Amino acid sequence: MNRSYDGVSDIAFEKRGDRTVLTNRYRSGNSRISAQIPTKDNTPLYFLVATGGGFIEGERYYNVVTLEKDAHAILTTQTPNYIYKCPNGKTTSQLNEVMVKENAFLEYYIDEVIPYEDAIYYQKTFADIKKGGSLILTDGLTAGWSKSDTPFLYNKVDLKTKILYDDELVFNDYLIVDPRQEDMSELGLFEGYTNFNSVVIIDENFCTDWIKRSKEALDTKDFEGIYGITALEKYGFVLRILGRSSHNNLGIMWDFINFYREDIRGLKHLELRKNQR
Amino acid sequence: MTENSLNIDKLSLLEVFQVCDSTFPIGTFNHSFGMENYLSDRRIKKAPEFEIWFKNYFEKQFKYSEGLLILLCMQALKNNDFEKICEYDKIITMSTLATETRNGTKLIAKQMIRLLKGMYGDIKTIVRYEEEIKKKKCFGSPAIVFAVFAFEKGIDVEDAFILYGYSIASTMVQNAVRAVPLGQMEGQIILHNISERLFSVYEKIKDLDEEYLGASMIGIELAQIRHESQESRLFMS
């Protein structure tokens, strides 16, 4: 496994008494795992770090997270995921595999991808949630980075997320962005916006009332863009945002996340202090 | 080919065409598939903006959802693999994020099954699909019902794709003529442009596997989600 990947992280948690403890912490190559960061409700929080501050052309990353039953942990990437310039047309990829066992709760905050000019990036996240387990999962994509500040100069990005709950498919999300072939500013695509963010929450207790309540919890005073919240076929709901800056999108994204954490789960307010641009 | 079988082929073609007619009463006239959200915030005002959204609907959503679904289902039917069809039904349902769009297509599928059963009696695979829907093992997708019907009638995969694509396009143009509004002539020109495009969309997906099934695009999807909380509306989705 290690030989074929440029970075691997494999992290596991278990509930012992009333605490969740780290039971496995394996890393190799360019992937690092931070020391535990304190949180207000003593939920273990770790940062997943790429040592180069991003991924380089052709690199492959593999992250595994396992929560044993009843555990609760928070994982997040440290910065937006930069996919550095790819002049040779090689695909950079990341595979995330998540296992949430019975009644465990994983918060997995993957930052948005910022592909540089010509980048080709493929990301696949697969989550297997057992009965009673729950998950908050984020991801996103921007118009990328280029010297000339021209949006969407990257080559291609595939973001795929598949979630099973109690062995049944509940979420199959696949965004294929192909700026070489299409005008990203058109209606139906990014529509003139530059930042896409997504939050999906899986919880078997979900009821449509949460949609109404979560919308009320969003502070949209300064938000510039469009967003929507909708119910999955089963066991959860999703927030999608198109806006003009990461900072702007993150505001309502975190209102949504904290609505679920505080109002539904009775947890304390969470703020991940990162240097967001 | 004998004269008799030729006649049967032509009748089959006409029978499939009837299902594709925008007047086939399966309720598609009730659905804008998110388009109405662009009307409400004035991002679609006239034919040019509508045509851009329409093109992207086919290139970025229809292509990987109902379009690819037709192709995969025809293949599964050829292999006599009904389990695969149920799997595709699940994938397509769980890939359709907007509740309203998801429920809309379920209703259309139900109507389509009802009509086809009324017209043709029991078509084995359609009856089986209906049973799976009733047992809540499947959810119901009009593209699957159509693929089964087209397969029964001996239509080949590309023709089934083109015909179904045309059927969706012509209904959506009718809806746009009413709602945007577009002129009848503008509508027909846009429909013809999409008809031409369907062939290249087919070329792009003909070798794709189920890994791509249900891929979509954020703008289209977000409009479908936002339609759910839109205040004034003509369409159910």
pLDDT at B143: 98
| Contact yes or no for B218 and A227 at CB 8 A | no
pLDDT at B8: 58
Q: Tell me the residue range of the domain where A108 lies.
A: 7-264
Alpha-carbon gap: B214 to the closest alpha carbon of chain A (Å): 7
Mean pLDDT confidence for B105-117: 97
Mean pLDDT confidence for B138-164: 97
Instruction: Look at A80-94, A189-203, A255-269 and tell me which has the smallest mean pLDDT.
Output: A80-94
Predicted confidence (pLDDT) at residue A269 exceeds the cutoff of 60: yes
> What ipTM was predicted for this assembly?
0.95
Confidence of residue B7 (pLDDT cuts 50, 70, 90): low
Give the total number of structural domains in chain B.
1
The answer to whether A173 contacts chain B (CB < 8 Å) is: yes
Q: What secondary structure does DSSP assign to A118-187, as a single string?
A: T-EEEEEEEEEE-TT-EEEEEEEEES-B-TT--S--SSEEEEEEEEEETTEEEEEEEEEE-TTTS-TTST
Task: Please report whether residue A2 resides in a domain.
Answer: no
Contacts of A171 in chain B (CB under 8 A): 94
Return d(Cα B221, Cα B82) in angstroms, integer: 29
Task: Please report whether residue B231 resides in a domain.
Answer: no
The string of pLDDT tens digits covering residues B68-80 is 999 999 999 999 9
User: Count of A–B CB contacts within 8 Å?
Assistant: 96
Task: Please report whether residue B143 resides in a domain.
Answer: no
Task: Please report whether residue B234 resides in a domain.
Answer: no
Task: Please report whether residue A12 resides in a domain.
Answer: yes
Mean pLDDT confidence for A104-123: 97
Predicted confidence (pLDDT) at residue B6 exceeds the cutoff of 50: no
Confidence of residue B39 (pLDDT cuts 50, 70, 90): very high
Task: Please report whether residue A1 resides in a domain.
Answer: no
Task: Provide the percentage of residues in chain B whose pLDDT is more than 70.
Answer: 97
Element containing residue A32 per DSSP (H, E): strand A31-33
Write the burial class of residue B75 (CB in 10 Å: 0-12 exposed, 13-18 middle, 19+ buried). middle
CATH number at residue B79: 1.10.4190.10
Mean pLDDT confidence for A98-111: 98
Confidence of residue A3 (pLDDT cuts 50, 70, 90): low
| Contact yes or no for B93 and A231 at CB 8 A | no
Strand partners, B32: none
Q: Tell me the residue range of the domain where B179 lies.
A: 33-103+156-226
The string of pLDDT tens digits covering residues A243-265 is 999 999 999 999 999 999 999 99
The answer to whether A230 contacts chain B (CB < 8 Å) is: yes
pLDDT at A78: 87
The string of pLDDT tens digits covering residues A47-73 is 999 988 899 999 999 999 999 999 999
Mean pLDDT confidence for B152-172: 96
pLDDT at B3: 46
SS3 of A26, please?
Answer: strand
pLDDT at A272: 87
pLDDT at A53: 84
Return d(Cα A45, Cα A252) in angstroms, integer: 22
Task: Please report whether residue B209 resides in a domain.
Answer: yes
Confidence of residue B5 (pLDDT cuts 50, 70, 90): very low
Mean pLDDT confidence for A95-100: 98
Name the more confident of A272 and A44.
Answer: A44
Task: Please report whether residue A208 resides in a domain.
Answer: yes
Predicted confidence (pLDDT) at residue A44 exceeds the cutoff of 80: yes
Give the total number of structural domains in chain A.
1
Find, in chain A, the residue whose alpha carbon is nearest to that of B220.
A188
Contacts of B53 in chain A (CB under 8 A): 186-188
Nearest to B57 among A172, A188, A191 (CB): A188
SS3 of A71, please?
Answer: coil
* Interior angle at CA A120, CA A119 and CA A125, nearest 5: 125
Task: Please report whether residue A202 resides in a domain.
Answer: yes
Instruction: Look at A62-71, A102-111, A268-277, B118-127 and tell me which has the smallest mean pLDDT.
Output: A268-277
| Contact yes or no for B214 and A172 at CB 8 A | yes
Mean pLDDT confidence for B14-32: 94
The answer to whether A209 contacts chain B (CB < 8 Å) is: no
Task: Please report whether residue B24 resides in a domain.
Answer: no
Task: Please report whether residue A271 resides in a domain.
Answer: no
Quote the mean pLDDT of chain A: 95
Nearest to A230 among B53, B94, B225 (CB): B225
The answer to whether A196 contacts chain B (CB < 8 Å) is: yes
| Contact yes or no for A240 and B225 at CB 8 A | yes
pTM score, whole prediction: 0.96
Task: Please report whether residue B127 resides in a domain.
Answer: no
pLDDT at B1: 40
Mean pLDDT confidence for B202-215: 98
Task: Please report whether residue A276 resides in a domain.
Answer: no
Q: Which amino acid is at B39?
A: L
Nearest to A190 among B214, B219, B229 (CB): B219
Mean pLDDT confidence for A223-234: 97
Predicted confidence (pLDDT) at residue B167 exceeds the cutoff of 90: yes
- Chain B residues whose C-beta is within 8 A of a chain A C-beta are 38, 43-44, 49, 52-53, 56-57, 59-61, 64, 90-91, 93-95, 97-100, 102, 139, 212-223, 225-226, 228-229
Number of Cβ atoms within 10 Å of the Cβ of B39:
24
Task: Please report whether residue A234 resides in a domain.
Answer: yes
